[in-house]
Structure 1
Amino acid sequence: MHVSLRERIRQLHRVIGLSIGLFVVMVAVTGAGMLFREPLEPVIYHGLLKVESCKERLPLDTLIANASASNPAAGRPKQVRIYADADSSTRVLLSDDRWYYVNPCTGEVLGSEHRYGGLFGTMASLHSFQFVKNGSVVAGTLALTFAIVLVGGGLAVWIPEALRKRR
């Protein structure tokens, strides 16, 4: 049985579309889930994110030093998140890829969580392909393959059909 080039392209288009489509759906669902991070995090992680409000906060250097002192092996600070709400904790990300939640009024370290831990951390990890080495390269390659094969294959199948119907 002779299979035409058009039919082979159609089969390749379908198989690659379905397989890469699973990754596209995963990225879409996790991205949509992360949209709800800001309103839901204070509810889910109330003990880490909410503190008693105070009139004057401690200096940022003190908060970072307290976070570092809670785990001396954690390394240097990579990122700090300060929230405008008077009843929000301050987050300090150290080199060990853990967020340390610090009470800005007392300097007490409330707890820590891995950068990609918890519900929203897991979503972020899946969304950015952190579960594989060089995740951003994998994600970019999948997106490029998706675009080239599906758009190119779709055009290769559709254009000859459209030209035949014109005649």
Structure 2
Amino acid sequence: MKKTIRHWLVRLHRYSGLLLSLFIVMAGLTGSALAFNDEIDAWLNPQFYHVAASGERLPVDKLVAVIEHDYPQARLAFFAFDADPNAPLQARLRPKKAEQVLAVDTVFIDPFSAAVVGERNSKALSVMPQNLMPFLFRLHRYLLLDKTGAIISGSLGLLWLVTLLIGVALAWPRHGNGWRQALSLKRGAGRFRLMYDLHRSVGLVAGVLLMITAFTGAVMNLPDVARPMVSSMSPLTAPPKSSLRSGDVRIDWQQALDSAQASMPQATLARIARDDKHGLFQIRLRKPNDLQDSGSVRVFVDAGDGHVLHSLDPLKGSAGDAFIGVQFGLHSGQMLGLPGKIFVALPGLLPLLFTITGIVIWRQKRKSEKLVRERRLHQA
């Protein structure tokens, strides 16, 4: 690498890293916690994750009726089903009018008795136990700014990816026998050398994992950019459309669930949403050893006659479908189960290390450059 190019790459890496320091530390720490989102949330709010089973589970339509009766100011967006059969169902609510603000947007309901066992507002700026994990999620993905925050976060993620690539290129040994030195810490060295060795060696070891995290986060947060680019190389399967007129729904929620379940009996239910605009139900199913805990298979059921319009398993679709389908599983580590979550959680702590060591290196470099300038002025 020519000295001039290397000089400018060092400066670009240094100042982009400093610019991104607050963002990457926040994203890393919140991401580490979110890798175990359900486990932490269940520890903080056990009532949201387990009820005492008594009798048979009620039809979903009975639960829908309770939600619609108890929360008349809202509409039901979707029901989420936990993998544990004794867990409450999670009902996500949306305001009926755009200008409305809901005090409660998530309801947990006992599937055996239809009793509401918990409520929370996922958009609350609160770190109380019932709101902590949704707050961390919105901070991590949306910077608490909804869609605008997702665009900002995705763009910063791309800049972080470039910063990582430059860092790895700079740290890469110039000769094959230089790897031992590149991955080791010099004993007995001063603070500056220790910070430099940590910054370089840890970056080389964990660089690939961090780049995957930055890239997948950007893809998910910038769908309006990512999906057209992917579809230009491999077609993406478009959601089907029902012939039913807008708002004219004929089958109920339970019938839609039954149709989806019958189309893939080996899978378990993960989520159901009704799309009145397009006259269909979208059901997400969880396969054994699925890519993600929330299920990756989507089944579209006609809201008019209940027949399955289309089933989309990302790993059985096009290359583009597979690429988009694995992003969340890779980003969260859920694709590899518990080991994957650990692999995501631990590197999430590294941006803090890089920020600390990077600032120490930057301050020392500035001090050294200042001494050099003063020496030259004195000699002149």
TM-score norm. by structure 2 comes to: 0.36
CA shift for structure 1 position 115: 2.4
CA RMSD in angstroms, aligned pairs only: 2.7
Find the aligned partners of 2:87 and 2:137 in 1 and give their Cα distance. 22
Aligned to 1:44: 44
Q: After TM superposition, give the deviation of residue 51 of structure 1 in Å.
A: 1.6
Partner of 2:91: 92
Whether contact under 8 Å (1:101, 1:110) holds in the other structure is yes
CA separation in 1, counterparts of 2:33 and 2:61? 34
Residues 9-38 of structure 1 show CA distances to partners (whole Å, capped at 9, x for unaligned) of: 644532221221331222121111012222
Alignment-derived partner of residue 74 in structure 2: 74
Q: Pick the aligned partner of 1:137 from 138, 146, 151.
A: 151
Q: Aligned equivalents of 1:138 and 1:32: distance in 2? A: 20
Distance (Å, rounded) in 1 between the aligned partners of 2:17 and 2:64: 47
Q: Which amino acid aligns with 1:74?
A: A
Match of 1:120 in 2: 133
- 2:114 is aligned with what amino acid? G
- What is the rounded CA distance, in whole Å, between the counterparts of 2:167 and 2:85 in structure 1? 55
Q: Quick one: higher RCO (CA 8 Å, sep 6+), 1 or 2? A: 1
- Contact 1:81 / 1:92 at 8 angstroms: preserved in 2? yes
CA distance in 1 between counterparts of 2:9 and 2:83 reads 55
| Partner AA of 2:158 in structure 1 | L
TM-score (norm 1): 0.75
Separation in 1, partners of 2:49, 2:166 = 48
SS in 2 for 1:56: coil
Partner of 2:114: 107
* 2:143/2:153 contact within 8 Å kept: no
Give the Cα–Cα distance (whole angstroms) in 1 for the partners of residues 70 and 143 of structure 2: 26
Partner of 1:19: 19
Match of 1:165 in 2: none
Offset of residue 106 of structure 1:
1.1
| Unaligned residue ranges in structure 2 (runs of 5+) | 96-101, 125-130, 175-380
Deviation of the 1:104 alpha carbon: 0.8
User: How many correspondences in the alignment?
Assistant: 153
Distance 1:33 1:151 in 2: 25
Identity of matched residues, %: 25
